[in-house]
Structure 1
Amino acid sequence: MSRTDVGETLREMWETRPARPRDGRQVAGVAAGIARRYDIDPVLVRVGFVVAAFSGIGAALYIAGWILLPDGPADPAAPRAGRPRTWLVIALAIAAAITMGTVFGGNGPDVILPLLVVAALLYLLHRSRGDRATRTADAPTVATPMTAPGPSPVADGTGAAGSTEPPVAPPAWDPLGAAPFAWDLPEPSPPPAEPPPRRLPVTPVTLGVALIAGSATAVIMMLGGMLTLANLDVLCGVVLAVLGAGLVVGAFLRTGRGLIPFALLLSALTWALVAAPLDRWQGDGYGELVAAPTTVAALQPSYERGAGEIDLDLRNLDLAVPPDGNTSPVRTRISMGAGDVTVRVPPAADVTVTARAGLGDVRFDRLEDDGPDAHVQVIDDLGTDGVRSGRPLAIDIDAGLADVEVRRG
């Protein structure tokens, strides 16, 4: 495929961009317009926007379509379109604000790959179905009833010929009025209506294939010793891929809408497992853990909680170099499934911090990161005095759904 072909396709995509219809819209008609342009199920397009929202670009793409796609002409015969649902507009605005905050907050490169994927999908969709724009069918021509040619002599009440009656409209079976002598015959019965075309069972077949694929994947992972909580997102991903394929097939066959609830629930579960893996929830118990060691011997190698709160106070920890001259770092690790982690370190200590949260907020002094896969790393921070002294302190924090804060003093 040459560069000229790509440019020609992009130009055609812009010139034949769909209008947003006034009927069948949920918010602004972006999904309905795209679906009618390429003759696919609008539910598939709406599901695509929802899936794109998990990558942080769904709301921005919808607003871009709202701006770039023209509003469809009003049809006087069509029912008046209702106003957009208020809660949908509010949710769209909140999602768009989060998207803009993600882009301008330093995570702009994270949305480049999803944008490229969406652009490639739109390009391929236009290449395969660009000639399937929905055309409005011509209005059927209504035949004007014809009357019998000329007056027909009939007998009046006295039996005399020559009186006439008003012409009678021909029946439906003789629209040309060719056999007026047989108009008094009963109308022929209409042919039996054809049964509606049978829709393929996309929903049950896809659910069955997803169940088989999930079971086979679980057996393979079990035999390989990989079926653990940490790899549960892989199993969900396989099932989600089958459901996604069923939705695509169903969109072209205009069926399979029963898969949408399953796909949305599994998408949310898979995203949560990727953002906060279950292996981070395997801490030592639940509840509050408070510790304030003052000696290196009293400092535990790790502090763990499945859910709750960890408050580790290291401000009085003795980090002086011992008589044997050991200057190796003093290390500790914190693991939290869901909750809050607070660590206080001496103001002048030499600190190295690596803190991660699957979903939450991570802070160290003025450094902060939030959202999915929040991460803050500080190497060899010399503290308030700016002088290397004593044994360095190395803290590794691994959390799932949590707020993590490391501060001095």
Structure 2
Amino acid sequence: MNGSDVHSTLREMWDTRPARPREGRQIAGVAAAIARRYDIDPVLVRVGFVVAAFYGIGAALYIAGWVLLPDEPGPAISSGRRRLKPWLLILLGVAAVAGLGGVSHSHGGVLLPLAAVAALLFLLHRSRSGRGIAGPGRPAPTPEAPTTPTAADGSPQNAGVTPPAWDPLGAAPFAWDLPEPGPVPAAAPPRRSRVTPVTLAVALLAGGVTALVLLAAGGLTDLPVLFGVLLSVLGGGLVVGAFTRSGRGLIPVALLVGALTWGALAAPLDRIAAGPPQELQLAPTTPAALAPQYRNDVGSIELDLRQMDLTVPAGAPVTPVATSIDAGLGSVEIWVPRDADVRFTGESGLGSVEFDDQENDGPGAKLSVNDLGADGIASGRPIVLDVHAGVGSVEVHRG
């Protein structure tokens, strides 16, 4: 492929760009237009926009399609729906700005996802450019009207012949030699697609084989591998179904398996299987009695530092009192003195992180606080806390 081929393909993509249909659209019809142009399932295109949204460019790409693809000619859309269009555009614009602003510019940032989308569109057009509806630069052909054969004097060749019953007006004398039409056969019912049952059967078989291998090798700790195999099979079925306009029954199953996969990745399964739960209750009163690290695979950790001596002798350097806590599955509660200076960093893979009246929750919850206490004055030895929990809550209270 040389430069002229690329240029001609890009020119053809622009000349045959599809119009956004007025029927079957969810927001502005961008996904439906692309699907009709290349004769693929619009669900696949919408899933593509959702995936692109995770890379921060989904909303921006949708707005670009909204602007560049013309609206399909036809009756005006109802006024109620048209009033929503500016609001949808504003919401998509906010999402685009937020997404692009949150994308890290390291390792390609926005450029790599944009290049990947451009390459996919280019390859899609190269392989399926002849399919779908005609674009603005390629009008649909008009069928030719049938002609009636005539004799040398200009009269119809079948003049004087009695027209058959199916043509009582004699409008098609050129076809009077056709037999009388028989009863119209009933249309055969459409054949039901087998993409969904076949994909589910293959996923069940692949999942069973993978489960047997994992049980023989290590069991519960490799559960994300099992879900990954199931997602791969379901994803392949969705791709096949997108080109055959079937397989939509796989979508809820794929969403469920995706949620289970995320949960298996967030939960520290190796630590859950490590041993029975333990409840740790600690109350050191001197910096020497405070361990540099506390770890508990399953169970709660309670650390009380309210009786900790944080005074600094005259002339002595101010050194922090530091410890870290690593919890697999369970809650972490810490109490610190009311006026103590605290530098806190907390993270929970699935749960919440709270420091006094500040809180963050949800998947991957994080919170960093540098607090001088109730007196608002830097005094005494500061407490440095670094807490990580796999699944559970992290709470720091002042006593």
Match of 1:301 among 294, 297, 300: 294
Letter of the 1:122 partner, please give it: L
Q: Are 2:166 and 2:181, in contact at CA under 8 Å, matched by a contact in 1?
A: no
Q: How many Å separate the matches in 1 of 2:382 and 2:68?
A: 60
Gaps of 5+ in 2: 150-154, 314-318
Q: State the TM-score, normalizing by the size of structure 1.
A: 0.65
Q: 1:252 to 1:349 in 2, by over 3 A?
A: same
Q: How many Å separate the matches in 2 of 1:88 and 1:234?
A: 43
Letter of the 1:214 partner, please give it: G
Alignment of 1:34-113 (within 5 A): 34-53=34-53, 57-74=57-74, 97=94, 100-101=97-98, 103-104=100-101, 112=110
Letter of the 2:325 partner, please give it: R
Aligned to 1:19: 19
How far the C-alpha of 1:256 sits from its partner, in A, is 1.8
Q: Are 1:337 and 1:401, in contact at CA under 8 Å, matched by a contact in 2?
A: yes
Q: Are 1:331 and 1:394, in contact at CA under 8 Å, matched by a contact in 2?
A: yes
Q: How many Å separate the matches in 1 of 2:115 and 2:262?
A: 20
Q: 1:193 to 1:148 in 2, by over 3 A?
A: farther
Aligned to 1:237: 228
Q: 1:242 to 1:216 in 2, by over 3 A?
A: same
Q: How many Å separate the matches in 2 of 1:193 and 1:20?
A: 35
Report the more deviating stretch, 195-204 or 238-247. Answer: 195-204
How far the C-alpha of 1:207 sits from its partner, in A, is 0.9
Alignment of 1:212-291 (within 5 A): 212-225=205-218, 227-228=220-221, 231-274=222-265, 276-277=266-267, 279=269, 282=272
Q: How many Å separate the matches in 2 of 1:335 and 1:214?
A: 31
Q: How many Å separate the matches in 2 of 1:40 and 1:333?
A: 52
Q: Are 1:358 and 1:374, in contact at CA under 8 Å, matched by a contact in 2?
A: yes
Q: Are 2:56 and 2:102, in contact at CA under 8 Å, matched by a contact in 1?
A: no
Q: 1:177 to 1:95 in 2, by over 3 A?
A: closer
SS of match in other structure, 2:226:
helix
Alignment of 1:102-141 (within 5 A): 103-104=100-101, 112=110, 114-135=113-134
Q: How many Å separate the matches in 2 of 1:81 and 1:179?
A: 46
Letter of the 1:217 partner, please give it: T
Q: How many Å separate the matches in 2 of 1:329 and 1:260?
A: 52
Q: 1:106 to 1:39 in 2, by over 3 A?
A: closer
The number of residues matched between the two structures is: 375
Q: How many Å separate the matches in 2 of 1:306 and 1:93?
A: 47
Alignment of 1:305-344 (within 5 A): 314-318=305-309, 330-335=322-327, 344=336
Q: Are 1:209 and 1:242, in contact at CA under 8 Å, matched by a contact in 2?
A: yes
Give % identity. Answer: 47
SS of match in other structure, 1:73:
coil
Q: Are 2:163 and 2:173, in contact at CA under 8 Å, matched by a contact in 1?
A: no
Q: Are 1:218 and 1:235, in contact at CA under 8 Å, matched by a contact in 2?
A: yes
Q: Are 1:313 and 1:345, in contact at CA under 8 Å, matched by a contact in 2?
A: no
Q: How many Å separate the matches in 2 of 1:234 and 1:127?
A: 35
How far the C-alpha of 1:395 sits from its partner, in A, is 2.5
Q: How many Å separate the matches in 1 of 2:100 and 2:363?
A: 14
Aligned to 1:29: 29
Letter of the 2:238 partner, please give it: L
How far the C-alpha of 1:328 sits from its partner, in A, is 10
Q: 1:393 to 1:91 in 2, by over 3 A?
A: same
SS of match in other structure, 2:247:
coil
Q: How many Å separate the matches in 1 of 2:212 and 2:259?
A: 24
How far the C-alpha of 1:245 sits from its partner, in A, is 1.0
How far the C-alpha of 1:295 sits from its partner, in A, is 1.6
SS of match in other structure, 1:189:
coil
Letter of the 2:101 partner, please give it: F
Q: Are 1:23 and 1:81, in contact at CA under 8 Å, matched by a contact in 2?
A: no
Q: Are 1:357 and 1:398, in contact at CA under 8 Å, matched by a contact in 2?
A: yes
Aligned to 2:173: 177
How far the C-alpha of 1:141 sits from its partner, in A, is 6.4
SS of match in other structure, 1:227:
helix
Q: Are 2:340 and 2:382, in contact at CA under 8 Å, matched by a contact in 1?
A: no
Q: 1:151 to 1:88 in 2, by over 3 A?
A: closer
Gaps of 5+ in 1: 153-166
How far the C-alpha of 1:134 sits from its partner, in A, is 1.9
Q: How many Å separate the matches in 1 of 2:271 and 2:216?
A: 24
CA RMSD of aligned residues (A): 5.5
